[in-house]
Amino acid sequence: MKNRQLFQRDPAVSKLLNDGVAAVREAASDKEIETLRYELEHFVCEGQYQDGLIRILESYLGNVNSTTQPAAWVSGFYGSGKSHLLKVFRHLWVDTRFADGATARGLARLPQEVQDLLRELDTLGKRSGGLHAASGTLPSGGGESVRLTVLSIILASKGLPEALPQAQFCMWLQKNGIFNRVKAAVEAAGKEFFGELHDLYVSPILARAVLDADPDFAADLKQARAALRSQFPLVGDLSTGEFIRLVREVLSLGKEIPCTTIVLDEIQLFIGNDPGRSADVQEVAEALCKQLDSRVLLIGAGQTALAGNMPLLQRLTGRFTIPVELSDSDVETVTRRVVLAKKADKRKAIEDTLNAHAGEIDRQLAGTRIAACTEDRDIIVDDYPLLPVRRRFWEHVLRAVDVPGTASQLRTQLKIVHEAVRQTAEDSLGTVVPADFIFEQLHPDLLKSGMLLREIDETIRNLDDGTDDGRLAQRLCGLIFLIREINKKTRGTFADIGVRATPETLADLLVSDLSNDGTQLRKDIPRILKKLVDAGTLIKLDEEYSL
């Protein structure tokens, strides 16, 4: 039996459409809509994902008639699934409908408690102007004001231009009942309406279309352009009062404010080390929570919990009072459900095979803090073809090589595990993923970051001379590099996991075919290591090897 036959989704042909990265923005293109559908179908509503949805929805429904609508803060390390949760929540809120009639809530497998809360939200929406959602990622390092940035996200959610002057122009056209006439006139002149809006102040086509639709707007074309510039001016910032007035106008469109969620990803990156931005975010959050009839739910996200030791974030604690923290366990759950899910009738075959090779599995990394343990029995079938010992090794590798914290955990693990399962798809049951697989997957990022020096990389690459020994030498050096990076940061500290680049440990991590590899590798590896030491590629310190 081949590995590919074990999975609910054939890894040889299935795709990870979003590459493990969710973007919190409005879906527009066919590709984005296809990706959104994929993310909804594979949303794992368990653990903190489930608890977070329940807490946020219960808080909103319980405070809709209060003076303040509390905001939520979703935190977790980079790639922990914050953006994925926020994106899914935004579409569950409005139950986004697709062209074929499918809906977000119908595609996602949701616990009964979450379904009940969403139905209660629907009932409230019917009494309160409907349901609406706006979502976007705040830019890091930019100079635009937080009020204009958030307003642009809300404008886009209503199908308006993100730039305030162009959006106000469109709202003015709609209010005066001439939007369709102006739009048709621009298109009749061979221009795309929203594209022409970029030239709002200088476009003769727009000015002529407005004059034709409303002759009282200005005396002539020149005055029409001047009127457009003065009536819809560029601004560098807004007062909070003007910001709230515009948000109310955009959301209500002359009616009452609908039940609205505003999702803002990467607030922490947006604030950075700027106290002014932190104060502006506080002010905007408080205004949204208190000045919009308790109809607006604000959700923010960052890598750090607000109760942490970052002063600029601690200031937000009083505004974002519903904490949702994502953890490592959520990452493991998602990879098991999305990539590693097995067919029910194949689980017994996997279990029998793993039991038959329990000796090989249990001996791996014995004596280290990530060695095989009794708890592995509960997850080993779920994790196959990735052994639990190697999953833990990979987690430590990702933490060690990801200095800025931008590549680890959910997004990277999803991609790596997906690729690992795909590459072992044609192998026989009993073939597991070797631990050095992650070196090849991380290789481009290691070079880009400078962690893997070019000369070391060339040395490792040149070891593969087309022979079995050459390929094994290359794999050994890649693995030794990763172990060295782990030990650089943790050796001699409480975080030391005890993994050392010894022949026995290297063999444990390289075994792929559980039936045959162990004995041969433990015979070949000492010989190859000696050759590498003699050639000056490696050095030996006691029983350990290093580049």
pLDDT of residue 78: 55
State the pLDDT confidence band at 15, using cuts at 50, 70 and 90. Answer: low
Q: Please count the helices (runs of H) and the strands (runs of E) in the chain.
A: 26, 7
- Counting Cα atoms < 13 Å in the Cβ hemisphere of 376 gives 22
Distance CA 13, CA 27 (A): 25
The pTM assigned to this predicted structure is 0.68
**Inter-residue contact 72 to 300 (CB < 8 Å):** yes
3-state secondary structure 182-227: HHHHHHHCCCCHHHHHHHCCCCHHHHHHHHHHCHHHCCCHHHHHHH
Q: How far apart are CA 528 and CA 373, in angstroms?
A: 30
Alpha helices (runs of H) in 274-406, residue ranges in sequence order: 275-290, 311-314, 328-338, 347-356, 358-362, 380-383, 388-401
Q: How far apart are alpha carbons 267 and 270 in whole angstroms?
A: 5
**φ and ψ of 288, to 5 deg:** -65, -40
Which pLDDT band, with edges at 50, 70 and 90, does 483 fall under? very high
Lowest mean pLDDT among 109-113, 190-194, 267-271: 267-271
Q: What is the pLDDT of residue 525?
A: 95
Q: Identify the pLDDT of residue 292.
A: 93
Higher confidence at residue 395 or residue 186?
186
What's the CA gap between 529 and 473, in Å, rounded? 8
As a whole number of angstroms, the distance between CA 393 and CA 75 comes to 24
Contact between residue 186 and residue 212 where contact means Cβ atoms under 8 Å apart: no
Assess whether pLDDT exceeds 90 at residue 265.
no
Among 112-121, 125-134, 313-322, where is mean pLDDT lowest?
313-322
Half-sphere exposure of 391 (CA within 13 A, CB side): 24
DSSP classification of residue 264 = E
Q: Which of 44, 84, 23, 48 is closest to 323 using CA atoms? A: 48
Whether the predicted pLDDT of 25 surpasses 70: no
pLDDT at 183 over 50: yes
Higher pLDDT, 22 or 250: 250
380 or 34: whose pLDDT is higher?
380
Is the confidence at residue 149, as pLDDT, over 60? yes
pLDDT of residue 266: 81
In percent, the amount of the chain with pLDDT more than 90 equals: 56
The residue-averaged pLDDT of 232-247 equals 93
Q: What is the mean pLDDT of residues 41-56?
A: 86
Q: Which position has the higher pLDDT, 16 or 382?
A: 382
- Domain range 29-145+245-326, CATH class: alpha beta
- pLDDT of 404: 46
**Which pLDDT score is estimated for 524?**
94
Question: Is the pLDDT confidence value at 412 over 70?
Answer: no
Query: What is the percentage of the chain residues whose pLDDT exceeds 70?
Result: 90
44 close to 53: Cβ distance less than 8 angstroms? no
Chain centroid offset of residue 417 CA: 16
Beta carbons within 10 angstroms of residue 34's beta carbon: 14
Q: Which of 86, 58, 90, 84 is nearest to 73 (CA)?
A: 86
Cβ atoms of 67 and 290 closer than 8 Å: yes
